[in-house]
Amino acid sequence: MEHELKDVIKRCDEAIKREDFDTLLHYYTEDAILVVKPGMVARGKVEIKKAYIAIADYFNNSLVPTQGEMLILEAGDTALVISQTMLDSDKEDSEYSMDRRATYVFKKNSQGQWLCAIDNSYGTDLINTTAQI
Amino acid sequence: MEHELKDVIKRCDEAIKREDFDTLLHYYTEDAILVVKPGMVARGKVEIKKAYIAIADYFNNSLVPTQGEMLILEAGDTALVISQTMLDSDKEDSEYSMDRRATYVFKKNSQGQWLCAIDNSYGTDLINTTAQI
């Protein structure tokens, strides 16, 4: 059986594709963080929504994220998702990698829903740069 | 100022070097998991202690872990640590990388202590293997 988090992440990817950021934000904790790019973090739902609007704009409103190989390490109400995240868009000159090894931390709330607390699509590549976050 | 998690991780590394696994286990949550190697996970303190004893034995009781570049992504009571983890030992033929890009998930408990929930020194390399966990 597929882990329920796979379905959550699929619904997030679909919401990003539709640019339905209000639906997307339902899958984040109140104090979630999103690594927008090396050296830049959005904190909380307001900043994350603004970041996604800017990201959509950067990719000419054509961004389609999908996941390849995925591994879910679950410990009680916390899970670390390691995933091959692929980004597709009609932008031809992105300065960011479109094929990433992402790290996502999810927490299960008291209603049993998995919510993203730390969204870092750059994975461990962040420490290969000189980024200071 | 250095993040308090850097000090926690340093104390863990020192406990591993001393093979003082009872002290080490104080820094883990009750339901923590440790990725022992690709495809093998230890769950809970009893299994994690057994795993560390086996790891110490594998490295001829000479294992010394240290951290290089480290990035801490903190979201409320949850933190993802991305760290260059270096392992040194007198074993000359380890089949595992001694220079890793690790991912550690910590949770802050009600007493304000950071405890490790997910200890994955292999980072995103786990999905470059065919490992099934």
Residues 6+ positions from A86 with CB-CB distance below 8 Å: A65, A66, A67, A68, A98, A99, A100
Q: Give whole-number Cα distances, B117 to A55, A70, A103, B85, B108, in Å.
A: 31, 19, 15, 17, 10
* Nearest CA-CA distance, residue B114 and chain A, Å: 14
Q: How confident is the model at residue B95 (pLDDT cuts 50, 70, 90)?
A: confident
Question: For strand A40-43 and strand B99-108, is the pairing parallel, antiparallel, or unpaired?
Answer: unpaired
Q: What is the mean pLDDT of residues A110-130?
A: 91
Of A33, A35, A78, the CB nearest to B105: A78
Q: Is the pLDDT of residue B132 over 70?
A: no
Domain spans, chain B? 4-89+96-121
Best of A48, A127, A128, A133 to disrupt the B interface (most B CBs within 10 Å) is A127
Q: How far is residue B94's CA from residue A81's CA, in Å, rounded to a whole number? A: 27
DSSP state of A92: S
At A132 the pLDDT is 45
Q: Which tokens hold the place of A76?
A: 């009680």
Spatial contact of B118 and A80, defined as CB atoms under 8 Å apart: yes
A112 beta partners: none
Cβ neighbours of B69 in A, within 8 Å? 127
* Nearest CA-CA distance, residue B122 and chain A, Å: 10
Q: Is the pLDDT of residue B131 over 70?
A: no
Q: Is the pLDDT of residue B99 over 70?
A: yes
Q: How confident is the model at residue A133 (pLDDT cuts 50, 70, 90)?
A: very low
Q: Which CATH class is domain B4-89+96-121?
A: alpha beta
Q: Is the pLDDT of residue A27 over 80?
A: yes
Of A101, A105, A126, the CB nearest to B71: A126
Q: What is the pTM of this model?
A: 0.94
pLDDT tens digit string along B26-38? 999 999 999 999 9
- Given an 8 Å threshold on Cβ–Cβ distance, is A31 in contact with B70? no
pLDDT tens digit string along A32-76? 999 999 999 999 999 999 999 999 999 999 999 999 999 999 999
pLDDT tens digit string along B14-72? 999 999 999 999 999 999 999 999 999 999 999 999 999 999 999 999 999 999 999 99
At A1 the pLDDT is 67
- Given an 8 Å threshold on Cβ–Cβ distance, is B71 in contact with A103? no
Q: How confident is the model at residue B123 (pLDDT cuts 50, 70, 90)?
A: very high
Q: How confident is the model at residue B79 (pLDDT cuts 50, 70, 90)?
A: very high
Spatial contact of A118 and B77, defined as CB atoms under 8 Å apart: no
Percent of chain A at pLDDT > 90 equals: 89
Q: Give whole-number Cα distances, A48 to A105, A109, A128, B25, B26, in Å.
A: 15, 20, 24, 35, 35
Of B35, B76, B80, the CB nearest to A29: B76
Residues 6+ positions from A129 with CB-CB distance below 8 Å: A38, A39
